[in-house]
Structure 1
């Protein structure tokens, strides 16, 4: 009886002792920050997923531009990086065969609508592209896949098909973003 009591007390004591856990944040510049993880929410607050598909050698100025746009518009920096990787592969001077320009491949009308004078200016381009993505996320109730479909094919196409248009380019675009993020997009990101 005494040993059973000892076992129960030991189990209760062990269960009430906080677990020691650590959260490691790996940054694109190769550094790592270690945080004590008190609970699951602590992990969510401190951990930042960094995709192995997104290059670690992103120029610091572009990374800081992305971070500023992320904070300004409330769009995940990882999503912005995945979009840039997919759209232009970090080529500030990229031009598509359809005339989209810069890091986030702004069409001339979109650049004009968002007040971009020089679409090859990284800060202006990322600011406008992130602003557009933020608007699309709001329009589609934070459904990242629909917002990406609209970014790629336009809101008219998403409305016409009442969802992701069956265009090969758009489906592949969303797939590339998911690959660059390193995981599949749920409905919300």
Structure 2
């Protein structure tokens, strides 16, 4: 009997330690940086901050100096031409070097994903696909299928299919790992 109690106590201690270790490891894989900027602009623009975290994680892994092979820049990997268009819509100055600035990049990227969500009538899956593949491609996929939405498995671009899956996996992880990181998440 005494041996069973000791084993149970050790098992409980191990599980408690393992759970802390597990969350520690997950927070290394899913870091939360620039949370003040994410909170500020997601609230100002009206987009879910956890979605912004997930896009940043998937696009740049929170590296503000990231540049893709196609020339997309910064945390949210905005192409200079898209960023310039967004800046015009926001009536703000466009400075390409500012794309490396977390505040500027998050502001423009948050506005853009919100624009896409609104354009696709709240279909976040389509908005995320368009964020990666462009609206022209997503609209073509919808036109071919003669529908207003598609399933992730129907996305014909392998990279975009993977990107959308990765964003939504990251989204769930950020909500689970950082449940109190943001005040208003009713989007």
Interval containing the TM-score (normalised by the shorter chain): 0.5 to 0.7
Residues 60-105 of structure 1 show CA distances to partners (whole Å, capped at 9, x for unaligned) of xx10000011111111000100000000000000000010000000
Gaps of 5+ in 1: 1-51, 184-188
Q: CA RMSD in A?
A: 1.9
Distance in 2 (alpha carbons) for counterparts of 1:75 and 1:135: 10
TM-score (norm 2): 0.65
Contact 2:113 2:127 in 1 (8 A): yes
Distance in 1 (alpha carbons) for counterparts of 2:78 and 2:31: 24
Q: CA deviation at 1:57?
A: 5.0
Structure whose alpha-carbon radius of gyration is higher: 1
Distance in 2 (alpha carbons) for counterparts of 1:113 and 1:149: 19
Task: Pick one of 133, 140, 147 that aligns with 1:160.
Answer: 140
Distance in 2 (alpha carbons) for counterparts of 1:144 and 1:57: 22
Structure 2 partner of 1:176: 166
Higher relative contact order (CA 8 A, sep 6+): 2
Say how many residue pairs are matched: 131
Residues 40-55 of structure 1 aligned to structure 2 (within 5 Å): 52=26
- Quick check: which one's helix share is greater? 2
Contact 1:54 1:181 in 2 (8 A): no
Residues 139-161 of structure 1 show CA distances to partners (whole Å, capped at 9, x for unaligned) of 11110100001100000001111
- Quick check: which one's strand share is greater? 1
Contact 1:136 1:147 in 2 (8 A): yes
Structure 2 partner of 1:65: 37
Structure 2 partner of 1:99: 71
Distance in 2 (alpha carbons) for counterparts of 1:130 and 1:54: 24
4+ residue stretches of structure 1 with deviation over 4 A?
A: 52-57
Q: CA deviation at 1:111?
A: 1.4
TM-score (norm 1): 0.64
